[in-house]
Chain A
Amino acid sequence: MLTETGTMTRPHACGHGPLAIEANGLVKRFDGTLAVDGVDIAVPEGAIYGILGPNGAGKTTTLRMLLGIIDPDEGVRRVLGNDRPHEVAKLIGYLPEERGLYPAMKCDEAIAFMGALRGLPLDEGKARGRKLLEAHGLGHAIDRQIRQLSKGMAQTVQLLGTLVHRPKLVVFDEPFSGLDAINQGKLEVMIRELAKTGTTVIFSTHVIHHAERLCDEVAIIAGGKVPYAGSVDAARDRIPAQVRLETRSSEGAWRAALPNDARHDRKGDDSHFWCFPVPETGIEALLKRLIEGEAGILSLSIERAGLHDAFVEIAGAAAARALDEDTAGGVGR
């Protein structure tokens, strides 16, 4: 696996503390098609960890292998110190991509049932479920059947069911999918609060800014491979800071100060936008030449590369395009 330092190394050697999840060389084929191709992941305990990639990249299959829902064809996984994830099922909470609850169940029963599957006695699950529902503004819906709830409310109920047994590791598959902006915000808060209590959170997403805002570490996945796994900062630092320049003129002697591959966009009739890495000669020298060359500077900023830029750099343009299309498709926005 290539880490943030760009060298092949074992996950334990990354300087992490204890790992909640450790997977090496996971391979999964379906009917001869390679779905996951040698995935390595190391999720530190207590971290918020994102698996970022377009639809069909292998995120769900990877999570399912980590949870023991399916077995890998090759490779090993270790979840909370156990090679067999079901052996530590009581310590894990899982929200699948496809939300599912029994429509005839009442909200508190549904939460209690999900807790019971993880070893929580039904009565205790019901009591905790009622408290959780009240705490999340669904106190009025405690005795309602799932079929009577809105989609957002049902998703919240399932989320609470995922957490009712107070797991040490929570796995969310596309948790923001189908949520409106308000509920996405609430979920982000919830994820941060879980991490504060020491719970490890791992989630998959195809929306970059969720990963960028929330995650300590990410695994970028495309085509069943993980070309990068490490901290978000390190991923962004792989790309030099970008100069974003807006000028009145587009031609002149000052153009020689810009790199040949600087990206150029025309903004209306009287301004031009340029984007390029900070030159090696430094920003002061660049600024001097622009002023002397009468570029007509309208604005100039130096911006650190975003995770999207890092994704393009790491996973390639095609995967980035797929990611953008998925995001533009509205799922999980």
Chain B
Amino acid sequence: MSDTTRLTRFEAARVVARRDFHAILFSRAFLFFLLGPLFPILIGALAGGIGGQVQRDATTRLVAVVMSEADAEAMIEARARLAPQVGRALPELAISRSSAPPDKILRETGRNYAAVVTGTLDAPEITAPQEAIAIWSGPIAMIAAHAGSSEVQAYPAVAGRPVATSRAAERSDRIRTAQAGQLILFLLMMLLAGMVLSNLVEEKANKVIEVLAAAIPMDAVFLGKLVAMLGVSFVGIAVWAVAGGAIGLLAGNALPQLPEPALGWPLFVAFGIAYFAMGYLLLGSLFLTIGGMAATVREVQTLSMPVTMAQLLVFFLAASSITRPGSPIELFSAVFPLSSPFAMLARAAQSEALWPHALALAWQALCVFAFVRVGATIFRRRVMKSGKAGRAVKGHVGETKPV
């Protein structure tokens, strides 16, 4: 034993965290807890895969033809002739009368063109993102060759004009990533933060809480429990991610693809982990306070309902502000502790700036500290009131005989 007469808060929290982490991780209940979400993941992956395939089929096969009227008609006829033999490898063609440049036609609202074909039958040109050019060059060359002559000698060379995605389209795409990130963050937090709730109730049922409270500060108890739960959550997430990845591999590339976030995937994932940790600690500290005040699981459920509802509102707030970066509502979501992790993850998907994340993480850490301190204080004031079996202080006051 060292010469000091007490453990530091972090040493004390570590003792509690280590105990809780091992106890939860090696319990049978945790195994069932791990298995539970795998079924929704499987079902979600299947549904997502099907949905993604449908979406790709529905939205990315239409190619605009901007050629002379004769060439355009010939292209449509040739496509119709080839379709019975070639089938779905051919794009859908639509004649566009627009006089706008091809890249603008590509971004026309209301039409979701995969590519725009211009030029002539002998020298067609495709304007599209690089990957669409790679996909459609061959089929367009085939159609153009059959449109130019009934006896095809050779396919014409197709010139590709790749377009960079516009900032607007880029942002629009990244919103999907932001939304997906927020949703995953929310689901994980709600799923895992519930564990914190039952933990302290169990602690009180075991009556160990007073042993802990006498030995170490209550905020160290709270912090230790939160960190243990966070560790357990990471184990759960790792298991689910591996399972989800395996399902993704089995499903091939049929799963929906998300556009790359502004900060790139590695940083986005890193921030996702950091914001999950902060969001989890914030929500967990609230739940822990509630768990501390409740005597039974039923009481926990009753008391936690408003917090769960409030968390839903906070999520909706952050989700609704995604499309309005820099607006007062988005700034409020980024600053309000409980919505901050969601709002900032959305920012990581949409904005390349790094400093707001450093600021937000520091702010969230400060809030976690404050929440834990306040929760521990409430716990000490409201829970440790009397002796055995929560007996209220029954007065023998006044019965004392003066001496």
Binding site for B on A (CB under 8 A): 2, 6, 30, 33-35, 37, 54-61, 64, 67-71, 80, 82, 86-92, 94, 96-105, 113-114, 116-121, 124, 158, 165, 173-174, 177, 222-225, 227-228, 238, 313-319, 322
Whether the pair B400, A104 counts as a contact (CB closer than 8 A) is no
In Å, the complex CA distance between A58 and B403 comes to 19
In Å, the complex CA distance between A315 and B212 comes to 34
**The one of B213, B380, B385, B401 that contacts A227, using a Cβ cutoff of 8 Å:** B401
**The one of B6, B15, B214, B392 that contacts A69, using a Cβ cutoff of 8 Å:** B214
B31 within 8 A of A: no
**Residues of B contacting A59 in the complex (Cβ-Cβ under 8 angstroms):** 387
- Given A89-B216, A165-B1, A316-B401, verify A33-B211 contact (CB < 8 Å): no
**Residues of B contacting A37 in the complex (Cβ-Cβ under 8 angstroms):** 397
Whether the pair A121, B1 counts as a contact (CB closer than 8 A) is yes
CB-defined A-B contacts under 8 Å, sample of 18: A30-B386, A30-B392, A33-B395, A56-B394, A61-B386, A69-B380, A70-B384, A90-B1, A90-B5, A92-B214, A94-B211, A94-B214, A96-B214, A119-B2, A165-B1, A227-B400, A317-B401, A318-B399
**Residues of B contacting A124 in the complex (Cβ-Cβ under 8 angstroms):** 1
Name the distance in Å between A236's Cβ and chain B's nearest Cβ.
14
Whether the pair B388, A225 counts as a contact (CB closer than 8 A) is no
**Residues of A contacting B403 in the complex (Cβ-Cβ under 8 angstroms):** 2, 6, 227-228, 238, 313-314
Whether the pair B208, A100 counts as a contact (CB closer than 8 A) is yes
Contact-residue size bin, chain B (C-beta under 8 Å from the other chain): 35 or more
Which 8 A-B pairs rank lowest in CB-CB distance, beginning with the nearest? A100-B207, A316-B401, A60-B387, A56-B394, A117-B215, A35-B393, A318-B399, A223-B396
In residues 346-403 of chain B, which contact A (Cβ within 8 Å)? Answer: 380-381, 384-389, 391-403
In Å, the complex CA distance between A89 and B214 comes to 8
Q: Which residue of B lies closest to A168 (CB)?
A: B5
**Residues of B contacting A54 in the complex (Cβ-Cβ under 8 angstroms):** 396
Whether the pair B215, A55 counts as a contact (CB closer than 8 A) is no
Whether the pair B398, A88 counts as a contact (CB closer than 8 A) is no
- Given A100-B206, A227-B403, verify A117-B212 contact (CB < 8 Å): yes
**The one of A89, A101, A114, A116 that contacts B206, using a Cβ cutoff of 8 Å:** A101
Whether the pair B5, A88 counts as a contact (CB closer than 8 A) is yes
**Residues of B contacting A6 in the complex (Cβ-Cβ under 8 angstroms):** 403
Given contacts A61-B386, A224-B393, 16 further A-B contacts (CB under 8 A): A30-B385, A30-B386, A33-B395, A55-B388, A56-B395, A69-B380, A71-B380, A86-B216, A89-B215, A90-B6, A98-B388, A101-B206, A119-B6, A119-B11, A227-B400, A315-B400
In Å, the complex CA distance between A130 and B12 comes to 23
- Given A55-B387, A64-B384, A100-B208, verify A318-B213 contact (CB < 8 Å): no
Q: Which residue of A lies closest to B401 (CB)?
A: A316
In Å, the complex CA distance between A14 and B105 comes to 98
In Å, the complex CA distance between A105 and B211 comes to 15
Whether the pair B401, A314 counts as a contact (CB closer than 8 A) is yes
**Residues of B contacting A60 in the complex (Cβ-Cβ under 8 angstroms):** 386-388
**Residues of B contacting A223 in the complex (Cβ-Cβ under 8 angstroms):** 395-400
Tell me which of B1, B4, B381 has the highest count of chain A C-beta atoms within 10 A of its own C-beta. Answer: B1
- Given A33-B393, A117-B15, A118-B215, verify A96-B5 contact (CB < 8 Å): no
Q: Which residue of A lies closest to B399 (CB)?
A: A318
- Given A54-B396, A314-B403, verify A117-B211 contact (CB < 8 Å): yes
Name the distance in Å between A308's Cβ and chain B's nearest Cβ.
14
B27 within 8 A of A: yes
The DSSP consensus for interface residues of chain B is loop
Whether the pair A56, B393 counts as a contact (CB closer than 8 A) is yes
Name the distance in Å between A7's Cβ and chain B's nearest Cβ.
12
In Å, the complex CA distance between A225 and B393 comes to 13
B244 within 8 A of A: no
Whether the pair B216, A117 counts as a contact (CB closer than 8 A) is yes
- Given A33-B393, A56-B394, verify A225-B7 contact (CB < 8 Å): no
Whether the pair A55, B400 counts as a contact (CB closer than 8 A) is no
B217 within 8 A of A: yes
In Å, the complex CA distance between A318 and B398 comes to 10
B210 within 8 A of A: yes
Whether the pair B387, A61 counts as a contact (CB closer than 8 A) is yes
Name the distance in Å between B23's Cβ and chain A's nearest Cβ.
6
1/0 contact trace for B207-236 toward A, CB 8 Å?
Answer: 111111111110000000000000000000
In Å, the complex CA distance between A98 and B203 comes to 13
Whether the pair B6, A96 counts as a contact (CB closer than 8 A) is no
In Å, the complex CA distance between A6 and B398 comes to 20
Whether the pair B5, A91 counts as a contact (CB closer than 8 A) is yes
Q: Which residue of A lies closest to B402 (CB)?
A: A227
In Å, the complex CA distance between A125 and B208 comes to 18
B19 within 8 A of A: yes
1/0 contact trace for B231-265 toward A, CB 8 Å?
Answer: 00000000000000000000000000000000000
**Residues of A contacting B385 in the complex (Cβ-Cβ under 8 angstroms):** 30, 35, 61
**Residues of B contacting A319 in the complex (Cβ-Cβ under 8 angstroms):** 396, 399-401
In Å, the complex CA distance between A89 and B1 comes to 13
- Given A314-B401, A315-B401, verify A101-B391 contact (CB < 8 Å): no
1/0 contact trace for B18-33 toward A, CB 8 Å?
Answer: 0100010001000000
Tell me which of A59, A60, A92 has the highest count of chain B C-beta atoms within 10 A of its own C-beta. Answer: A60
**Residues of B contacting A119 in the complex (Cβ-Cβ under 8 angstroms):** 1-2, 4, 6-7, 11
Whether the pair B207, A55 counts as a contact (CB closer than 8 A) is no
Whether the pair B213, A69 counts as a contact (CB closer than 8 A) is yes
**Residues of B contacting A113 in the complex (Cβ-Cβ under 8 angstroms):** 15, 19
- Given A116-B15, A117-B216, verify A87-B397 contact (CB < 8 Å): no
In Å, the complex CA distance between A35 and B387 comes to 11
**Residues of A contacting B389 in the complex (Cβ-Cβ under 8 angstroms):** 98
In residues 175-194 of chain B, which contact A (Cβ within 8 Å)? Answer: none
Q: Which residue of A lies closest to B7 (CB)?
A: A119
- Given A101-B208, A316-B401, verify A90-B27 contact (CB < 8 Å): no
In Å, the complex CA distance between A2 and B394 comes to 24
